[in-house]
């Protein structure tokens, strides 16, 4: 009998192609997702060495980072020259190497981490990589998924494998249930608040516990998406009936007898009793509050009811970092987080650009208008999310509330396209990074959930969404 294994151990073991004497492994990659920003140099490398793509049928490309999200984007003039060159390079590389492709004009286009699951490319037990750190998202399916650099993109294109050393196992358990107004985003930010942004370095996290089980696939993707913000390359959640129900009938999911065989295999994907964990973190679901970030690192997170901390509350190198953050963010220690006035609201990104996120925001906004003077936009994660939101009447709620209703893309999450903050502009954002300059030079980002972002749009300041829930009840 084999020793008890974690879910990560099991997926790893099933993908080892070769183990060298020093423990370095060649790991097989089942799905390789590709976007326009981190791939051109990799394809150029293939051409220069006369290599080909080993498994084009397992390689999926979609432009997302650079593409404009304004309704007039079919007009090439909406893109800067260098953005256009990158997107055209992906068009050409996809065609030349025969890989699966969703061009800007395709209704299925969207953020690569939303399109992959939506089309059924991402399935339990797979290894999934992409030249993007938020590849961790796909771990929600019980797939081992992580970001890679461009040299590794080239390596996977050429060999369908990756040179890897096995990471350590970390268990993050969220016990009990979440309270009303608390979401998957609050879970994942709260975990980072506990572990710090380097707490997961060298680990693969498995999220478990009742509060995780009770999340939809959309919520689970939000949780795993930010594993990287805690330093872990990958986050995982064991597949269950919720997972199978999401996958069933997707265009690239197995059908018929193959589906039955797949589910039988997926049911073996869980951490055995007695499996060894190198680190364990436990949070009570009931203790998690709606949270916001106040600084320039995702670990700078507190419940909305708290106040801005002082550098004196910290030790070591963090003291200087907090001084710098507070100056950059224009905040004063002791200031109530709920008193922070905002200029802009951004709802979207691979963290929170799925249908459930739009439903949560629309539920708060229904029949109301954003505060005067606030710039507010919703950027659906894919063309299909956008279409579904229109069908469900959510789009009209956003438009009536004074939000811009955009086309799919990464947009203001990383501000590579024209959607950017100006210096000093303060944004309530459902995205994943609040780094200096992330959403535009000098821009100030507060990370929060879609419901919290909607609440801030209504009041013009960071707001405890639970107060509005009482009002709506």
Report 114-133 residues binding other proteins (CB under 8 A): 123, 125-126, 131-133
Radius of gyration of the chain (CA): 21
Strand 301-303 versus strand 291-293 pairing type? antiparallel
CB of 359 to other proteins, least distance (A): 29
Give the pair of three-digit tokens for residue 80.
């800067």
Interatomic CA distance for residues 327 and 222, integer angstroms = 30
Q: Which is nearer to other proteins, 158 or 307 (CB)?
A: 158
Phi, psi of 266 (to 5 degrees): -60, -30
- Find the binder of other proteins among 33, 61, 104, 148 (CB under 8 A): 148
Specify the residue, 379 or 458, whose C-beta has the smaller distance to other proteins.
Answer: 379
At which residue do the structure tokens 């796909």 appear? 138
Q: Distance (Å, rounded) from C-alpha 53 to C-alpha 98?
A: 8
Least Å from the CB of residue 195 to other proteins: 12
Is 151 one of the binding residues for other proteins (CB under 8 A)? yes
Buried b (16+ CB within 10 A) or exposed e, 183-204: bbbbbbbbbbbebeeebbeebb
Q: Is 329 helix (H, G, I), strand (E, B) or coil?
A: helix
Q: Footprint of other proteins on residues 170-229 (CB under 8 A)?
A: 197-198, 201-202, 228
Q: Which of 100, 159, 175, 216 binds other proteins (CB under 8 A)?
A: 159
| Residue found by looking up tokens 């689970």 in the block | 220
Closest separation in Å from C-beta 2 to other proteins: 16
Q: Which is nearer to other proteins, 78 or 159 (CB)?
A: 159
265 binds other proteins (CB under 8 A): yes
**Region from 80-88, 285-293, 337-345, 377-385 binding other proteins, contact rule CB under 8 A:** 80-88
Residue 245 touching other proteins (CB under 8 A) = no
What is the total count of residues that contact other proteins (CB under 8 A)? Answer: 80
Q: Is 435 in the site for other proteins (CB under 8 A)?
A: yes
User: Among 109, 119, 161, 382, which residue sits at the site for other proteins (rule: CB under 8 A)?
Assistant: 161
Give 338's strand partners: none
The C-alpha angle with vertex 355 and arms to 353 and 361, in degrees rounded to 5, equals 75
Region binding other proteins by CB under 8 A among candidate stretches 101-109, 141-149, 211-219, 283-291: 141-149
Is-contact 427 342, C-beta < 8 A? yes
Stretch that binds other proteins, among 273-281, 365-373, 437-445, 450-458 (CB under 8 A): 437-445
- Of the two residues 361 and 415, which places its CB atom closer to other proteins in the complex? 415
* The only residue of 182, 414, 447, 465 in contact with other proteins, by rule CB under 8 A: 414
Q: What Cα–Cα distance (Å) separates residue 54 from each residue in 12, 46, 59, 160, 392?
A: 21, 11, 9, 6, 41
């Amino acid at each position: 009998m084999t020793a008890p294994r974690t879910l990560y151990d099991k997926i790893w073991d099933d993908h080892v192609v070769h183990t060298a004497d020093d423990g370095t492994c060649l790991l097989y990659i089942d799905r390789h997702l590709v976007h326009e920003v981190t791939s051109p140099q990799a394809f150029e490398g293939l051409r220069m060495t006369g290599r080909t793509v080993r498994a084009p049928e397992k390689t999926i490309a979609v432009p997302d980072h650079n593409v404009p999200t304004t309704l007039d984007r079919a007009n090439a003039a909406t893109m800067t020259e260098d953005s256009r060159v990158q997107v055209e390079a992906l068009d050409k590389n996809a065609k030349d190497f025969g890989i699966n492709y969703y061009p800007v004009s395709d209704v299925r286009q969207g953020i690569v981490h939303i399109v992959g699951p939506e089309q059924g490319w991402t399935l339990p037990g797979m290894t999934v990589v992409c030249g993007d750190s938020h590849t961790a998202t796909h771990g929600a399916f019980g797939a081992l998924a992580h970001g890679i650099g461009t040299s590794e993109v080239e390596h996977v294109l050429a060999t369908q494998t990756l040179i890897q050393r096995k990471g350590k196992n970390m268990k993050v358990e969220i016990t009990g249930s979440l309270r009303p107004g608390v979401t998957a985003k609050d879970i994942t930010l709260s975990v980072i608040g506990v572990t710090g942004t380097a707490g997961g370095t060298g680990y693969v996290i498995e999220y478990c516990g009742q509060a995780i089980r009770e999340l939809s696939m959309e919520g689970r993707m939000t949780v795993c998406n930010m594993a990287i913000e805690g330093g872990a390359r990958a986050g995982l959640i064991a597949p269950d009936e919720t997972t199978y129900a999401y996958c069933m009938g997707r265009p690239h999911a197995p059908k018929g007898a193959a589906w039955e065989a797949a589910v039988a295999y997926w049911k073996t994907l869980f951490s055995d009793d007695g499996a060894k964990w190198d680190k364990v973190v436990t949070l009570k679901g009931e203790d998690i509050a709606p949270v916001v970030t106040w600084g320039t690192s995702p670990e700078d997170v507190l419940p909305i009811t708290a106040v801005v901390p002082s550098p004196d509350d910290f030790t070591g190198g963090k003291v200087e970092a907090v001084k710098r953050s507070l100056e950059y963010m224009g905040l004063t220690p002791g200031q109530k987080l709920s008193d922070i006035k905002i200029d802009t609201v951004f709802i979207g990104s691979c963290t929170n650009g799925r249908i459930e996120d739009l439903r949560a925001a629309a539920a708060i906004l229904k029949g109301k208008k954003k505060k005067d003077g606030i710039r507010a936009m919703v950027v659906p994660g894919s063309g299909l999310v956008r279409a579904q939101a229109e069908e469900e009447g959510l789009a009209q709620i956003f438009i009536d509330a004074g939000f811009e209703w955009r086309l799919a893309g990464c947009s203001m999450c990383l501000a590579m396209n024209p959607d950017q903050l100006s210096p000093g502009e303060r944004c309530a954002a459902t995205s994943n990074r609040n780094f200096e300059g992330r959403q535009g030079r000098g821009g100030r980002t507060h990370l929060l959930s879609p419901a919290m972002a909607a609440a801030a749009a209504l009041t013009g300041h960071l707001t405890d969404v639970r107060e509005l829930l009482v009002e709506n009840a």
